[in-house]
Amino acid sequence: MELIYTGKTKNVYRLEDGNYLLKFKDDVTGEDGVFDPGSNVVGLTIEGAGKAELRLTKYFFEILKEQGIPTHYVEADIDNVTMTVKPATLFGKGLEIICRYRAVGSFFRRYGDYCEEGQPLDAFVEVTLKDDAREDPPITEDALDMLGILTHEEYAVLKELTRKIALIIKTELAKKDIELYDIKFEFGRVGPDRQITLIDEISGGNMRAFKDGRHIQPLELEKLILD
Ligand SMILES: Nc1ncnc2c1ncn2[C@@H]1O[C@H](COP(=O)(O)OP(=O)(O)OP(=O)(O)O)[C@@H](O)[C@H]1O
Ligand SMILES: [Mg+2]
């Protein structure tokens, strides 16, 4: 098993059969010990966080599979805190696709002159480059096409998939009276036909979720959803 990438919250290995193995760590993004899904640095380490994120990821990816969404998920090994996935080719050096139902986080920081904090948004989709040094800059559809990262046709597929998946997750959370404010996904091209496919993870670390107006921390989200 060959280590091919050391990420902030996961390590990536190549398996002998060509699949990848994601090893979830207990590291969580944020600053000064406070969790922030939009952050690009590891701000805290919480014992059991990796396992909780994996359990949620497994749960959501299995629901998505039932609903016919293309994902990289193969299987999860909860005891070893690993997930086997199909290898994907990233768009450029990687994109983050965010779906927003409320004006919080970087959206409110950027556009706060034109909206109230927490104002409802209609499943607004936005794309950022995964580029830590440039603090994940937002990028438009035209720029993605012009720079050869995504064609307009691929952008349309990505946007529709993003809204579909976000709604599935939002609906799942709503069953536990939890409201999804925003969520971030990664996609890549998988298989010989290079199908646009959901990759990476879906866990507390990738979303903002609130219950009774209170922000739910990643570990608590896992308990509320899975217990
Ligand atoms: N199926 C896949 N094929 C190829 N790469 C993948 C696949 N699934 C996830 N990845 C990549 O594996 C890495 C996992 O590492 P990790 O989640 O720690 O993220 P990171 O790159 O450090 O940054 P961030 O925290 O901003 O997501 C990510 O770079 C992600 O793009
Ligand atoms: Mg990540």
Nearest-angstrom CA–CA distance, 10 and 194: 24
Q: What are phi and psi of 113, to 5 degrees?
A: -70, -15
**Binding site membership of 10 for ligand 1 (Cβ less than 6 Å):** yes
pLDDT for the residue numbered 8: 92
Q: Could you tell me the pLDDT band of residue 32, with boundaries at 50, 70 and 90?
A: confident
Number of H helices and E strands in the chain, helices first, is 5, 16
What average pLDDT does this structure show over 194-214? 96
Q: What does the DSSP 8-state code read for residue 204? A: G
Q: Which of 5, 31, 57, 134 to mutate to test the pocket of ligand 1 (most atoms within 8 A of CB)?
A: 5
Taking the CA of residue 40 as reference, the ligand 1 atom at the shortest distance is 26
The Å distance, Cα 155 to ligand 2 centre, comes to 21
> Relative to the CA of 72, which ligand 1 atom is closest?
1
Asked whether 206 lines ligand 1 (CB < 6 A), one says no
C-alpha 28/C-alpha 48 separation (Å) is 11
Atom in ligand 1 nearest the alpha carbon of residue 86: 1
Q: How far is the CA of 136 from the centre of ligand 2 (A)?
A: 12
pLDDT of 133 reads 95
Kindly report the pTM of this predicted structure: 0.95
Strand ranges, E, within 110-215: 120-129, 138-139, 179-190, 195-199, 207-211, 214-215
Confidence of residue 36 (pLDDT cuts 50, 70, 90): confident
Greatest extent of the chain over all pairs of C-alpha atoms, in Å: 53
The answer to whether 227 and 195 are in contact (CB under 8 A) is no
Q: What gap in Å lies between CA 83 and CA 61, rounded to an integer?
A: 11
Q: Best substitution site from 4, 11, 12, 54 to test ligand 1's pocket, by max atoms within 8 Å of Cβ?
A: 12
Structure tokens, 93: 């050096």
Q: Residue 8 Cα, ligand 2 centroid: separation in angstroms?
A: 7
39 or 68: which leads in pLDDT: 68
**Ligand 2: centre distance to CA 213 (Å):** 26
Determine the average pLDDT of the residues in 182-202.
Answer: 97
Q: Tell me, what's the pLDDT at 43?
A: 86
Q: Which domains does the chain have, with CATH numbers?
A: 2-88 (3.30.200.20), 89-226 (3.30.470.20)
Residue 190 pairs in a beta bridge with 88, 195
Q: Which atom of ligand 1 is nearest to the CA of 186?
A: 31
Q: Are 21 and 12 in contact (CB under 8 A)?
A: yes
* Cβ atoms of 185 and 162 closer than 8 Å: yes
